[in-house]
Amino acid sequence: MRVSVDAARCCSSGQCAALAPGVFDQREDDGVVVLLDAAPPEAAHDAVREATLACPAAAIQVEP
């Protein structure tokens, strides 16, 4: 799995960081998404998919 984010689309909801904290975080100053792991381990794949679906701004892209 390859993960990418579009920080310009991010609305700072924090769903990604809450659902997959090892893969996503948020900048302290404005809450915009920070990608911590673009190639997360298989154990995190379900959480990443859930975070992708939960993102209200569709700022997360996942490729197999």
Supply the DSSP string of 8-50, one letter for each residue: TT-----HHHHH-TTTEEE-TTT--EEES-SS--GGGHHHHHH
Q: Which residue has the tokens 């990418």?
A: 4
Which pLDDT score, from 0 to 100, does residue 33 have? 98
pTM: 0.95
Which pLDDT score, from 0 to 100, does residue 45 have? 98
Sign of CA dihedral 33, 36, 38, 43: negative
For the segment 5-64, what is each residue's pLDDT rounded down to a tens digit?
A: 999 999 999 999 999 999 999 999 999 999 999 999 999 999 999 999 999 999 999 998
Domains and CATH numbers, the chain: 2-63 (3.30.70.20)
Which pLDDT score, from 0 to 100, does residue 12 have? 98
